């Protein structure tokens, strides 16, 4: 069991929450947007400034910092022996992001390490913090790209060639901001991985529970749909003669909404981006490009949703006389976390006097990639009103502090997790 004697000597150990909170606020000063959030799209100048800040903090703690070929930053506190227990997340944001998504997990991992250093604890194996490139996938698809490459799920060359929504090539942007590192990817294999994150949904708050012991992450299917029609005059073209991509995009959006309603359960569907060309008041558009984000905890249902969407796209292409093509942006099956890590999070959360509930994650996370190569899990804290990917994203200090203390003790506990291959 992970809760070995080692950690029992330090049960009262707590993070310095004032310092953690200050770092959260300092990082949020980079690329602020109205409403208290951030715009730090992956591999932009803003991302670079955030990375520079984090690297400087890692160096202050004497961590061994490496940057790999897709820009993942790993800071290792080299104590003990063997593979590190790693924690971490991401510091890139969506265009209208909050200050906690990803950043909280990275900074809490750093704080956990600093707390151990100051308490002169000598864990039996190294502790590490990871900052993974382009978790959001907002600028470069797929999401969780850095951690996917880190675990060998995508070739480095393929990742470097990914083209952003603004036309930039990932490899060029990495080099431009000085984060095309020399460290090999796939990278250092952790002994175990645990990620602390805000829930980004409403369940914990609704149930009046402080901590989520995350059991799984739902499957994600992203595709880009391009609709080509007949551009024409808005005033002179009779409705019966139109081949209108804007109308088709709207029908697809409504279809997804109805599909999610019909499936019920965990099914969610989102059209988050629609671009029209030429995007003018008095022109029936020539083209619509839209993205579909479809998720379910059940892979069979997710596949069924994809099949139904494909059928609908064929039907509407015929009935509206437009051409529709699709491109996969991201596709990940649901992920189940390691029972031992889930148990560990749950028991430590209870031990520290918190209410805790086991729950799946609706959002994608780097931990789901690390789960491919080592025992992994996650800790959630409540998001006020369940709001995230929005500058209004907020979590109360007491919840942030509780989560960070559970992370600290989970990292320590996982240092004594027995390897399955031993």
Rounded Cα gap, residues 72 and 86, in angstroms: 13
**Where on the chain is the footprint of Mn ion (CB under 5 A)?**
101-102
- Classify residue 5 by burial, with Cβ atoms within 10 Å: 0-12, 13-18, 19+: exposed
CB 389 within 8 A of CB 406: no
- Closer to ligand GLV by CB, 177 or 367: give it: 367
Q: How far is CA 222 from CA 64, 105, 265, 347, in A?
A: 36, 25, 19, 35
Judged by DSSP in three states, 85 sits in strand
Q: Which residues make beta-bridge pairs with 194?
A: 87, 377
- Closer to ligand GLV by CB, 190 or 364: give it: 364
Residue choice 92, 136, 244, 338 for contact with ligand GLV (CB under 6 A)? 136
Establish if 141 lies at the interface with ligand GLV (CB under 6 A): no
- Closer to Mn ion by CB, 244 or 293: give it: 293
Question: Residue 205 binds which entry of Mn ion, ligand GLV, none, with Cβ cut-offs from 5 to 8 Å by kind?
Answer: none
Establish if 143 lies at the interface with ligand GLV (CB under 6 A): yes
Rounded Cα gap, residues 114 and 133, in angstroms: 23
Q: Which residues make beta-bridge pairs with 86?
A: 128, 193
Question: Residue 143 binds which entry of Mn ion, ligand GLV, none, with Cβ cut-offs from 5 to 8 Å by kind?
Answer: ligand GLV
Query: Strand 376-381 to strand 192-198: parallel, antiparallel, or no bridges (unpaired)?
Result: parallel
> With contacts defined by CB under 6 A, how many residues of the chain interact with ligand GLV?
4
Place of tokens 């002169």: 120
CB of 136 to ligand GLV, least distance (A): 5
- Closer to Mn ion by CB, 102 or 181: give it: 102
Tell which positions 326-365 bind ligand GLV, by CB under 6 A: 363-364
Q: Judge if the upstream peptide bond of residue 142 is cis by omega within 30 degrees of 0.
A: yes
CB of 339 to ligand GLV, least distance (A): 23
- Closer to ligand GLV by CB, 364 or 382: give it: 364
Question: Residue 401 binds which entry of Mn ion, ligand GLV, none, with Cβ cut-offs from 5 to 8 Å by kind?
Answer: none
- Chain residues binding ligand GLV by CB under 6 A are 136, 143, 363-364
């Amino acid at each position: 069991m992970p809760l070995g004697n080692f950690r029992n000597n330090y049960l009262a150990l707590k993070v310095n929450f004032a310092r953690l909170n200050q770092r959260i606020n300092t990082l949020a000063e980079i690329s602020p947007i109205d409403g208290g959030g951030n715009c730090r799209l992956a591999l932009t100048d803003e991302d670079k400034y955030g990375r520079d800040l984090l690297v400087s903090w890692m160096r202050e703690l004497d961590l061994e910092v490496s940057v790999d070929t897709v820009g993942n930053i790993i800071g290792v506190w080299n104590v003990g022996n063997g593979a590190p227990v790693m924690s971490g997340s991401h510091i890139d944001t969506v265009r209208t992001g909050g200050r906690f998504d990803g950043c909280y997990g990275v900074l809490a991992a750093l704080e956990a390490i600093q707390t151990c250093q100051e308490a002169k604890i000598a864990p039996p194996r190294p502790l590490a913090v990871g900052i993974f490139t382009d978790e959001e996938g907002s600028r470069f698809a797929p999401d969780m790209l850095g951690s996917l490459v880190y675990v060998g799920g995508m070739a480095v060359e393929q990742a470097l060639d990914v083209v952003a929504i603004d036309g930039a090539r990932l490899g060029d942007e990495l080099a431009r901001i000085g984060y095309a590192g020399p460290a090999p990817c796939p990278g250092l294999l952790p002994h175990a991985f645990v990620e602390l994150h805000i829930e980004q949904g409403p369940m914990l708050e609704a149930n009046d529970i402080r901590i989520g012991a995350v059991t799984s992450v739902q499957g994600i299917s992203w595709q880009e749909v391009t609709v080509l029609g007949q551009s024409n005059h808005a005033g002179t073209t009779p409705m019966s003669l139109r081949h209108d991509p804007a109308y088709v995009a709207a029908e697809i959006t409504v279809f997804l909404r109805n599909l999610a309603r019909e499936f019920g359960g965990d099914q969610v569907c989102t059209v988050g981006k629609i671009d029209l060309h030429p995007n003018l008041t008095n022109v029936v558009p020539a083209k619509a490009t839209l993205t579909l984000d479809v998720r379910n905890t059940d892979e069979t249902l997710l596949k069924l949703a994809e099949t139904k969407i494909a059928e609908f796209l064929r039907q509407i292409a015929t009935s509206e006389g437009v051409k529709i093509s699709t491109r996969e942006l991201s596709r990940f099956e649901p992920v189940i976390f390691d029972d031992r890590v889930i148990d560990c999070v749950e028991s430590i959360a209870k031990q520290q006097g918190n209410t805790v509930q086991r729950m799946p994650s609706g959002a994608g996370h780097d931990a789901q990639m690390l789960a491919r190569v080592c025992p992994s899990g996650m800790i959630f804290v409540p998001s006020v009103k369940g709001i995230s990917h929005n500058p209004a994203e907020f979590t109360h200090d007491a919840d942030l502090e509780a989560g960070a203390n559970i992370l600290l003790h989970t990292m320590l506990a996982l240092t004594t997790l027995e390897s399955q291959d031993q």
